[in-house]
Amino acid sequence: MRTLFVGAGATGGYFGGRLAEAGRDVTFLVRPARAATLAARGLRIHSPAGQSTIAVRTVTAGEIDGPYDLIVLAVKSYGLDGALRDLKPAVGPGTVIVPLLNGMRHIDALVSAFGPAHVYGGVCMIAGTLTDEGDVVQLTGLQRLAYGPLDGGPDPRLPAVTEALSGADFDSEGTTAITRQMWEKWLFLASLGVVTTLMRSPVGEVLAAPGGPAFTDRVIAEAVAIVTAAGHPPREQALTFLRGSITNARKVPTTSSMYRDMQAGRPVEADAIVGDLVAHAERLGVDAPLYAAAYTNLSVYSRSR
């Protein structure tokens, strides 16, 4: 499958890079500065398993040479509108788009831009960041992709999409339950995001502080109440994974991409990850004071940076 990764940052660079390394037909749609960096340095991935330098094919917006079979969208929420404009020439009648963004509201933007037949759901599990030089850093061993039709299928394109996104050095799952996985991922990531950005610390530091464990429990309880009221109660296994990750954070440095971005003075995805949950809480009459405070805190940061 001819595959276009839109964005070669922490997530796109990691998963697209690993697929390119495994010999898959991968091209990256990037902006000119990123294209220059990738041409000069290659795509460098630093991971707990070692370092790779991968020669990758790139195109910029004006250079897209016709439709791709598969597009993996890996931009931040604040880059979504521009990316949707730029990738338009890559969407043909049979193109499937798999977004990796956190949250849910990008799905509406994709469906309204390209129609429901083109849009899958997607989840990625990785703790990644970019160095000042533009190298991808995988911070922990977490590396998993899941994707599939939003309506649960069956969809005859899923086996080919699964084949195109498998066989590289990460776990990959084509699923007919992607919507549930996306809500569970949102619950997971928002909880880590609220704990770390409100307290400006990795989860382990919060747990070690007076009141930290109770605060963390209340953040999780608020998120569970919101997503449950929204009609997406998490499965017990998702809660076990979240609680296990919190417990593990006493030993393994655990943060969130929003926290890492905040520490680096970069923009944060406040509206898509926290603001949208606060909007659900208000609409559904769920009391979520910690999420409201976290959203105000992130908005103050965004306005003052």
Ligand X SMILES: CC(C)(CO)C(=O)C(=O)O
Ligand Y SMILES: NC(=O)C1=CN([C@@H]2O[C@H](COP(=O)(O)OP(=O)(O)OC[C@H]3O[C@@H](n4cnc5c(N)ncnc54)[C@H](OP(=O)(O)O)[C@@H]3O)[C@@H](O)[C@H]2O)C=CC1
- Contact positions toward ligand X, by CB under 6 A? 102, 125, 127, 189, 192, 256-257
Rank residues 105 and 218 by Cβ distance to ligand Y and give the closer one. 105
Cα 288 from chain centre: 23
Q: Provide the β-strand partners of residue 4.
A: 27, 71
Please say if 185 is a catalytic residue: yes
The pair of structure tokens assigned to 36 is 């220059």
141 touches ligand Y (CB under 6 A): no
Q: Which of 1, 2, 22, 31 binds ligand Y (CB under 6 A)?
A: 31
Q: Name which of 124, 180, 170, 120 is nearest 148 in CA terms.
A: 120
Distant-in-sequence, close-in-space partners of 162: CB < 8 Å, separation ≥ 6: 147, 172, 173, 174
User: Which residue's CB is nearer to ligand Y, number 12 or number 234?
Assistant: 12
The answer to whether residue 91 forms part of the interface with ligand Y (CB under 6 A) is no
- Read off the tokens for 115: 């129609």
Dist. CA 182–CA 208, nearest whole Å: 30
**Binding status of residue 27 toward ligand Y by CB under 6 A:** no
Strand locations in the chain (E) = 3-6, 26-29, 43-47, 50-54, 57-59, 68-73, 91-99, 120-125, 128-130, 136-138, 144-149, 171-174
Q: State how far the alpha carbon of 108 is from the alpha carbons of 78, 80, 90, 99, 119, in Å.
A: 15, 12, 19, 12, 10
Choose the contact partner of 19 out of ligand Y, ligand X, none; CB within 5 to 8 A by kind: none
Single out the segment in contact with ligand Y by CB under 6 A; choices: 40-48, 79-87, 150-158, 207-215: 79-87
6 binds, among ligand X, ligand Y, none (CB under 5 to 8 A by kind): ligand Y
The residue range among 28-36, 49-57, 204-212, 222-230 that interacts with ligand Y, by the rule CB under 6 A, is 28-36
Look up residue 61 and give its amino acid.
A
Q: Is 35 in the site for ligand Y (CB under 6 A)?
A: no
Least Cβ distance, residue 267 to ligand X (angstroms): 14
Closer residue to ligand X in complex, CB, 90/219: 219
Binding residue for ligand Y, selected from 72, 107, 119, 130, defined by CB under 6 A: 130
Residue 29 interface partner, choices ligand X, ligand Y, none, CB cut-off 5-8 Å depending on type: ligand Y
Comparing CB distances to ligand Y, the nearer of 15 and 280 is 15
The entry of ligand X, ligand Y, none near residue 11 (CB within 5 to 8 angstroms by kind) is ligand Y
| Number of residues located near ligand Y, criterion CB under 6 A | 30
The span from the first CA to the last CA of the chain, in angstroms, equals 41
- Two tokens, residue 11: 């997530």
Closest CB 123 distance from ligand Y, rounded Å: 8
Q: Which is nearer to ligand Y, 7 or 202 (CB)?
A: 7
Measure the CA–CA gap between 242 and 75, rounded to whole angstroms: 24
51 Ramachandran zone, left/alpha/beta (phi>0; psi -120 to 50): beta
Closest CB to ligand X belongs to which residue? 257
Would you please indicate which residues are annotated as catalytic (active-site) residues? 185
Question: Could you list the residues that contact ligand Y (CB under 6 A)?
Answer: 6-12, 29-31, 33-34, 74-77, 79, 82-83, 86, 100-102, 124, 126-128, 130, 257, 269
